[in-house]
Amino acid sequence: MDFIELLARQPEGLTLAGLTDGLKIPKNTVFRIASTLTLRGYVERDEEGKSYRISRKMLALGHTALGGDRLLQVAAPVLISLRNITGETA
Rounded-to-integer distance, Cα 41 and Cα 54, Å? 9
Strands, E assignment, 1-90? 14-15, 43-46, 51-54
Other beta carbons within 10 Å of 72: 11
B/e letters for 24-37, b = 16+ CB within 10 Å, e = fewer, are eeeeeebeebbeeb
Distance CA 75, CA 15 (A): 40
pLDDT in tens, 46-86: 989 899 999 988 888 776 766 656 767 778 889 999 999 99
Domain boundaries defined on the chain: 2-86
Q: Give me the architecture of the 2-86 domain, per CATH.
A: Orthogonal Bundle (1.10)
Tell me the pLDDT tens digit for each residue of 8-27. 999 899 999 999 999 999 99
